[in-house]
Structure 1
Amino acid sequence: METNVVLTKPFTIDHNKSSDSNGNYKAPIFLQQVLSLFKNVQLGSDLSRFKLPPTFNMPKSQLQWYGECVYSTGVDLINSINNGKTPLDRFISVVAWSISTTRPQTFGVVPYNPILAETHHVSKGNLNVLLEQVSHHPQVSALHATDRKGNIDITLCHSPLPKFVGTGVEVDMHGKRHLHLHNHGETYEMNCPNFLFRFLPIPGIDWVGNVTIRCLETGLVAELSYIRQSFFGFGSGNRRRIKGKIFDSLTKNVLYKVDGHWDSTVILKDATNNAEVRVIYDAKEVLSGLHTPFVKDPESVWQTESALVWGELSQAIISNNWGKAREAKNTVEETQRIHLRERESKGETWVPKYFTVTHSKEDGWKCSPIQKWVPDAPIATL
């Protein structure tokens, strides 16, 4: 089994080798290939069912990408939150952790859309992370991460909605993240910025939009804005920039101003004393020296594991064997269609194994883990 499990390096801060210092892609010929895919797509079109050939895929599933945002860090941000002495200390650390989940990407390639029931299960130290694809149309991914020693758990329910916006593709990242510090009786709720895949006038990738982080018990709130770069790329100071504030929602007092760039450093300024400035996030420290996960127990890898489901395709992409890649991708997708037809013929409804899932027009998708603690995984990372 182990030879079919293909795991790849997570995105580091300098991962985007095909781009210039501004994160802009340098190959106009490849850009023409990308644009040709969208020549008949109308503005505002939902691209969630849009199929890309494997030449536009990176060798990993979106479930793996979501998981890496939690378990792949150069420093232990999650336990540093738990070790904060005051609610405000912990809240500032949560803001830094939220920023750390904003990861660089490579222009021109995207992860695979996970198939229904696909899972990704990885351990890093005391942190065990489990993801499951709980819906295929629409795409909905659930995550549960727990640290039993630190008495911490994290949940997320993401439903990405990609839309063609004329100059590129913007992915609305619907869903909430929750981080629970049970030793402190604190729950932090936050959303995720949108992902922008820009074709024109200057090709590039970015995170844009507004993020709100709140502690439900203390009333502390952070409002962050991921600044959208101007159409022609003017104002390099706004490239990958974050601005915002931390305030007490009970008193309405602004405590700190937040400013910086998610791919370098983010600073905190005391709202009452601008001379007091400190760095709360350093991307080079957090997103450098990341390790590729490895299989420590091949016999225990689930058949639904992302790295196994897509292993043949990932290996073909890594080897630049595009004929084999197309064949492998078609096999995975056709197998999924066969399973769907079988369920429909029997009148069966698929039910997630690890999450309870609900959906409403008002609240969107909610994914609640069935187990209190995520078990140790057969795949690990340092």
Structure 2
Amino acid sequence: METKIVLARPFSLERQSDQETNYKAPNILRRILSLFKNVRPGSDVSCFKLPPEFNMPKSELQCYAECVYSTALDILSNLNGGKTPLDRLISVVAWTISAVRPLWFGVAPYNPTLGETHHVSKGNLNVLLEQVSHHPPVSALHATDYKENIEIIWCNSFVSKFTGTSVEARVHGKRELKLHNHGETYEMNSPNLLIRIFPIPGNDWVGNVTIRCIETGLVAELSYISQSFFRFGTNQRLIKGKIFDSLSKKILCKIEGHWDSTVTVKNTDNAEVRVIYDAKEVISGLQAPIVKDLESVWPTETVLVWSELSEAILSKDWEKSKRSQEKYRRKTKGASQRKRIKRRKLGT
């Protein structure tokens, strides 16, 4: 039987077509409320099992990887172009903002299985992810641009809490971006995802992000600001921040804008303002990766692991999708049990 590969289009600024979103469940808000009717506020829903009607045909691993490889403008390879440490930090800030993408409300990616991988090559860039833990869910990423001598390492772990009117997914883990040509390492965290159910459904990226260059002592602080409760005002997808010298505490630049449109930086010495990020240039017109050689794809790759379920979801065959989902759950549970037994035998 021929295996059908399904790789969904990346998150981008454009509204998804009907063909891409026809797997959405009907009466989506009512269905979401029915899911949480027996869940208490403050409960951890990180491992909450969603019916297949609420899944999009892609794994969380693909979502993470898209933040690195899926850009219309090659913003990553340009990080080395800055002449000064401040210029390079500003470029890193712009790259960090590019990793924040608009999400679809009402559907979520698959929770990756233990040992699942996602590997994509684009030009000089190689990106590899692996699900290294299932309980708690932890994903690890390693990417290299061998031409520009750039390396990215990060480890993500979500902890989701139901508040009664929303779900907030806190993203734990450190991200590192290394510019080896300049001997610079940038450490950063990531914003949190807020899924608002009442009064107006929607998704927001919220929270504070700190980007620190270990060698130069320069620091950027960004705030992703949530909309008001009723979505009044003009602060939709607003981002504000500053860049300062951690030794002298002097503020060098101020950052302001909207992460889904443009972001500017203002030099505090000469009041010069310039655009450092344009979302239309970076995350528009994005296309899904292409599988060039099916025989060379690892059996752990997300395109193979979830192919049966993704095909069933896209065809709205919910009975088949439920059977496929249950098969993945049994497989993951068995892998976790085998791992625990192995650890006990090793005495770890």
TM-score range, shorter chain: over 0.9
In the other structure, the counterpart of 1:258 is 255
- 1:348: how far off? 6.0
Cα distance change, pair 214–345 in 1 and its aligned pair in 2 (3 A): closer
Q: CA deviation at 1:164?
A: 0.3
The match for 2:286 is 290
Taking structure 1 as reference, are residues 193 and 284 closer, same or farther at Cα in structure 2, changes over 3 Å only?
same
Displacement of 1:85 in angstroms is: 1.8
Q: Is it true that 1:130 corresponds to 2:122 in the alignment?
A: no
Tell me the secondary structure at the aligned position of residue 327 of structure 1: helix
Return the offset for 1:337.
Answer: 1.9
Q: For residue 327 of structure 1, report the CA deviation from its aligned partner.
A: 1.1
Residue in 2 that maps onto 1:315 = 311
Counterpart Cα distance in 2 of 1:83 and 1:318? 43
Matching of residue 14 in structure 1 with residue 14 in structure 2: yes
The separation in 2 between residues aligned to 1:121 and 1:319, in whole angstroms, is 26
Q: For the Cα contact (< 8 Å) 2:221–2:242, is it kept in 1?
A: yes
Structure 1: runs of 5 or more not aligned: 19-26, 351-382
For 1:167 and 1:178, the matched residues in 2 are separated by 34
Opposite residue 226 of structure 1, the aligned amino acid is Y
One-letter identity of the residue aligned with 1:5: I
Amino acid across the alignment from 2:224 = Y
Aligned-residue Cα RMSD (Å) equals 1.8
The CA deviation at 1:341 is 3.7
Deviation, structure 1 residue 346: 5.9
Q: 1:116 to 1:348 in 2, by over 3 A?
A: farther
Q: Structure 2: which amino acid aligns with 1:182?
A: H
CA contact (8 A) 1:15 1:106 kept: no
Shift of 1:345: 5.4
- Distance apart, 1:326 and its partner CA: 0.9
Label 1:17 to 1:252 Cα distance change in 2 as closer, same or farther (>3 A). Answer: farther
Aligned to 1:380: none
Q: Which residue of 2 aligns with 1:248?
A: 245
Q: 1:326 aligns with which of 322, 329, 333?
A: 322
Q: 3-state DSSP class of the match of 2:159?
A: strand
SS at match of 1:272: coil
CA-CA distance at 1:4 after TM superposition: 3.3
Q: Deviations over 1:77-103 (max 9, x none)?
A: 111101222211111000000000000
Distance 2:173 2:86 in 1: 25
Distance apart, 1:2 and its partner CA = 7.4
Per the alignment, in what secondary structure is the counterpart of residue 274 of structure 2? strand
Matches of 2:197 and 2:183, distance apart in 1: 45
| TM-score normalised per structure 2 | 0.94
Matched pairs, number: 340
- CA deviations 1:227-251 (Å, max 9, x no partner) are 011111111x111000010111111
Alignment of 1:99-114 (within 5 A): 99-114=97-112
Cα distance in 2 between the residues matched to 1:221 and 1:343:
40
Structure-2 separation of matches of 1:349 and 1:11: 43
Is 1:206 the counterpart of 2:183 in the alignment?
Answer: no
Alignment partner, residue 358 of structure 1: none
Distance in 1 separating the partners of 2:270 and 2:235: 24
| Structure 1 residue 344, shift from structure 2 partner | 4.8
Matched position secondary structure for 1:77 = coil
